[in-house]
Every structure is written in C-alpha cells, then in structure tokens.
Amino acid sequence: MSPTDRTRTLGSLHRGLAGDGSVRYLAVEARGAADAVQQAHHLGPDAARVAGEGLVAAVLMSAWIKGEERVTLQLQADAPQAAFIGDVDAEGGLRARFSPAGLSLAPGAGLRGLLYAIKADRSKELYRGVSPLEGRSIEAALHAHLNASDQVNTLLRIQVEVEDGRVRRAGGLLLERLPEDPGRPSIDADTFLRLYGGLQDAHLPEVFAEVAFGRLEGQTISPLEDRVLRWRCGCGPVTARRILRSLGPEELRSIRDELGTAELTCHFCNAAWAFAGPELEALITEAAAAQA
C-alpha cells in the first residue's frame, strides 16, 4: 500500500462544546497522516517531528472551513533552513511536504523564520496571517497567532513523538473560551484556566481516551462533528498530461530527442508519471493541436 493511498484513513478531527457550552474544543489524532508524510518524503526523525507538528496545526485550523475552502499552513525557516507546506480541505482531505529530509535540531531548539496561515476557496484567497517563529515551536507560534487574531482565551497542544526513527504519536488539542453572549452560558478567564489548565501538561493519548468517553477534564462534552482524515492530492496521470501539454510541442519534442521520456513528479506524493514512445508522441500532437 502506498503511504499516500487516497482510500486509507489517516486520522480524525473531532469538534464540539465542553462543559455547559462555554468552551469550544477541537481534538486531532493524526499519527497516520504524519507517518504518510514521513514515508512519502523519507524524512529523518527531526524532520518528521516538525512536519507532523505542521500537519496537526493545519488540521486544527481547518475545523471551521466549509464548502470548497481550504486551509494552508506554510513554514519558511532560515535558521536552520527548512520549508513545510500542508493544506487541508473541508472534508478532511490533506497533503503535505517538508524539506530537507535530514533536518537536524539540537534538543529543545526551534526554528527561526515565518509561519503563514492562509484560507482560500477555489477562486481567491480569503485570509492570510503571518507569525514569526523566533526560535519557537509551531505550537507556540500558532498559539500566539490565535490569541492575537481571536482575542479570546485559548489552550493549544500539539504533540508529535518519534521513536526509533518513526512517528508513533501525533495529535493536537485546541480549547477556546467563547466570548460572552447573552444567548449562551459563559465563564471568565480565571475559571477557564482553573477547569482546563491541567491539559497543558497532559499526555494527549490519555486526553483523547477521555474524550472518547464524553468527558474532558471531568467536564461533559457535546460532540458536534467527527471528520475522517485522508490523503487528497490533485495529482494523477490526467493532471500530469495536462501539465506536460502546457509546455508546448517544441519543448516536448526537445525532451523526446534529448531524454526519450517526459516525466513529472508530484512534490506532495513523490509519485511520478512518465510518458515515452507512442504516449509521448500523442502528447506532442495534442500540444500542437492546442496551439493551432
């Protein structure tokens, strides 16, 4: 089975209300998704951990999108140099890539660069936020971004554990104290921290087990949605043919004469499509017809 098999369940996203409805929660279990990214891009331990953290963050941010909207999280670091991009759609379809595969970080060290959070639909960008990493983790940078943009109390956990070179656990938890509204119960900031502050140091698998039984820090929860995560990428032989045709007949003839094969590799899946012989000749003919 391909690590990015599009029928394989890679995790889940759960959202709902906690307590009396004054707190919103999101819980993400994404070990399968983080493992798929590690396998697709042959990531070492540090690269797999950072990529997993970025992917969990992207899934958390996708919880409230709908229709054809998509959330993209991008990381551009210069110390040390690293790049991550992951996007998630409203149905839990995701894809991600990370480089370099051999990233090495000292224990406790973070990255320096920028973290971009982007929401878009099929036709346009709807929102873009930028947060400096400043040596912080993705969790810390995203937490600062959420507090600045939403101006409500939030508790964020992103936990990715790599053992023996492989991702063994990957998950995230986000709690938001809902702003005061006459139409619903509310709690103040001190009460929010008293009830849920212990989650800052909790082991997430234990938290998820509690959520499965309808509780969170002893408070009753009201589930609203359970969303399955699967790999979803726009690549494929049809897309590969379209992209190659767009090169035009002259470029395709040059590729045929020099290499004998026109090949395209997806940056997300690392899947490759190659066209040679009659298939390549057909592409050249189609490209020429499109220019006529």
Full pLDDT tens readout for the chain, 292 residues: 466 667 789 999 999 999 888 999 999 999 999 999 999 999 999 999 999 999 999 999 999 999 999 999 999 999 899 999 999 999 999 999 999 999 999 888 889 999 999 999 989 999 999 999 988 889 998 888 887 765 678 999 999 999 999 999 999 999 999 887 777 778 888 999 999 999 999 999 999 999 989 999 988 999 999 999 999 988 888 888 999 999 999 999 999 999 999 998 888 888 888 999 999 999 999 999 988 7
Return the ∠ at Cα 269 (arms to 43 and 59), rounded to 5°.
Answer: 80
Contact 135, 84 (CB under 8 A): no
Contact 67, 151 (CB under 8 A): no
Query: For 111, which DSSP code?
Result: -
Q: What is the CATH number of domain 237-291?
A: 3.90.1280.10
- Rounded to whole angstroms, how far apart are CA atoms 63 and 225? 9
- Rounded to whole angstroms, how far apart are CA atoms 31 and 33? 5
Task: Please list the residue range(s) of the chain that carry CATH number 3.55.30.10.
Answer: 9-231
For the residues of 13-82, what is the DSSP string, one character each? EEEEEETTTTEEEEEEE-HHHHHHHHHHHT--HHHHHHHHHHHHHHHHHTTT--TT-EEEEEEEEEETEE
pLDDT at 1: 45
Q: Which of 188, 264, 259 is nearest to 22 (CA)?
A: 188
Task: Please list the residue range(s) of the chain that carry CATH number 3.90.1280.10.
Answer: 237-291
pLDDT at 82: 96
- Rounded to whole angstroms, how far apart are CA atoms 115 and 262? 35
Measured in residues, the chain has a length of 292
- Rounded to whole angstroms, how far apart are CA atoms 199 and 197? 5
- Rounded to whole angstroms, how far apart are CA atoms 76 and 42? 20
- Rounded to whole angstroms, how far apart are CA atoms 60 and 110? 21
* Burial tier of 42 (Cβ tally within 10 Å: 0-12, 13-18, 19+): exposed
Q: Which of 249, 168, 199 is nearest to 23 (CA)?
A: 199
Superfamily of structural domain 9-231: Hsp33 domain (3.55.30.10)
Contact 141, 131 (CB under 8 A): yes
Six-digit token string for 48: 């797999």
